[in-house]
Amino acid sequence: MDADSRKEVVPSDRGAPPRRMAQSPLAPLPQAALPADGFDRGLHAALGRATSAISPSSLLLAYSDWLSHLALSPAKQMELVQKAYRKLHRYSLYVPHSLSEKEPPCIDPLEQDRRFSHPEWRQWPFNLIYQSFLLTQQWWYNATTEIRGVSQHHEEVVTFVTRQLLDIFSPSNFPNTNPEVLRKTVETGGQNLFNGWSNFVTDWERARAGRPPVGTEAFEVGTNLAITPGRVVFRNRLIELVQYSPSTETVHAEPVLIVPAWIMKYYILDLQPHNSMIKYLVDQGHTVFCISWKNPDAGDRDRGMEDYLRMGLMDALEAVGAIVPQRKVHAVGYCLGGTLLSIGAAALARDNDERLASMTLFAAQTDFTEPGELALFIDESQVTFLEDMMFDIGYLAAGQMAGAFQLLRSNDLIWSRLVHEYLMGERAPMNDLMAWNADSTRMPYRMHSQYLRRLFLGNDLAEGRYRVGGKPVALSDLSLPIFCVGTTSDHVAPWRSVYKVHLLADTDITFALTTGGHNAGIVCPPGTPRRSYQILQRPAGGKYMDPDAYLGSAEHREGSWWPEWQAWLEGLSGGRVAPPSLGAPDKGYNPLEAAPGTYVYLK
């Protein structure tokens, strides 16, 4: 029987008990059937297209909470008046000495703020301009924080949105107040502005036509990206499973199964030969399998988390077990794929299924109480708004997700690009990771709604309420060793949130904290410059160490963490054997297309 044809009863995501409907002909219709419900969904979807998927109600609630409590806090108001006076006084003392570049500034930018790092910002009058901006920015931070009675979530939303609004008016964003742009304009006779306008028009036309950014043409999947040899050995309506060809005469006995996130194309782990994690593992003698998720469309709107678990992880695990029989599997999960793997591993442990030899998590959260700045976009109002937008078309479009991620790093991903490409007239060179990032994916309606409600809002996995096959799962059931990787600059899965796996699983955990962000910290092959990591093992039954204590105790090592992880995998493997065949035709797993398969090309 085709797995997709099986029907399943899905409980309400709201968690409310079912209501018995009256049999009277005058009984009210279920809410979803009311005509007004469809109208409201359509209205919200239209609003979402105009607001980049941000719920106006969510912003209104946050600012109302902040403003009403500030209005009832005269002492806080007086404190803000005093702070404004002190900043004005400090600025007035700085002005007479501002002609001297040796005069120290009255306020320094935050460590991560590189907008005013060029020496030309120390010259008059630009030093006065950027100093006044930073003082204003600091005052608004004081005005939006530490107001008694405001909920933490609303405070974070107000602070974040206010900072975004202020950043629009940063002096670095305007040619008349940016000394670097002015110098470039004089040197080129205005050619930079002409080039910048040309860059803007090109980008706008490509965005309108749905074409990828300039420079991505140099990177093509199957040509110079995702070229590690292998074959698709299994396919269903949600995944293709790729088995990679061995490059060594013998291989480690236990295979490796990689579960990437379906929010991204899998080949971030197989970019080019010099930075392909998959090729690195194959060259170290591992038999590697990797899931390639189908890019969902409107026809996949009703695929839920249970489908991704059953048709993704479990079907892949069945295939790996048939091709490499009688061997346990080293399972690896990245981002959402790591969260899914954690759920699946807990379900297997609950059912006394011992097919997994180990579990590795790359930047994957299992406890969502502190998910970082991404939580700014996730509350009941925002999730409902997203559900209505997805309901309209059956999925969450890639551009809507990309907008939220860009806002989290707006100075790096939006404003610095505006200055560099549109004011300076210079194109940033395209690289393989940027080209991969432009190869976007979608999220089906039902799955994304369940993911947001059950994990982000409900934190069901960490609190023992997440159900697989009708029964709850818990990471405390795990006894297999875990290797967990966090990255220092992760805005999607902050490392302190990833570290919470220590509170949920009482097993052997090796935690590596590497420099870099959510993607660049993971794609970190040996030889990558300016990379380092910390690593510490907590044995099964060991005492809990909080993240700050971890920072003080974990050993610092230079270079890539890949060899450390590979040695960990090797230590858990049972010796070398002859490579298995590609697929298992006698068991129904015929080798199909050559890697990278067909699903990776779906737009």
Catalytic residues: 335
Least Cα distance to 452 among 603, 263, 294 occurs for: 263
At residue 401, what are phi and psi to the nearest 5 degrees? -75, -40
Tokens coding 431: 């690289």
Least Cα distance to 392 among 51, 52, 57, 47 occurs for: 47
Q: Please name the helix (run of DSSP H) or strand (run of DSSP E) that holds residue 444, with its range, or none.
A: strand 443-444
153 vs 378: CA distance, rounded Å: 10
395 vs 304: CA distance, rounded Å: 12
At residue 435, what are phi and psi to the nearest 5 degrees? -65, -40
AA letter at 112: Q
585 vs 47: CA distance, rounded Å: 52
Q: Please name the helix (run of DSSP H) or strand (run of DSSP E) that holds residue 290, with its range, or none.
A: strand 288-293
Q: At what angle do helices 179-188 and 191-209 cross, to 10 degrees?
A: 110
Q: Please name the helix (run of DSSP H) or strand (run of DSSP E) that holds residue 318, with its range, or none.
A: helix 315-323
Contact in structure between 475 and 461 (CB atoms under 8 Å): yes
145 vs 15: CA distance, rounded Å: 34
461 vs 584: CA distance, rounded Å: 35
Q: DSSP 3-state assignment of 538?
A: strand
Residue 508: which residues within 8 A CB-CB, separation 6 or more?
A: 481, 482, 537, 538, 539, 540
Residue 394 buriedness (CB in 10 A; 0-12 / 13-18 / 19+): middle
527 vs 529: CA distance, rounded Å: 6
Q: How far is CA 378 from CA 417, 452, 568, in A?
A: 27, 8, 36
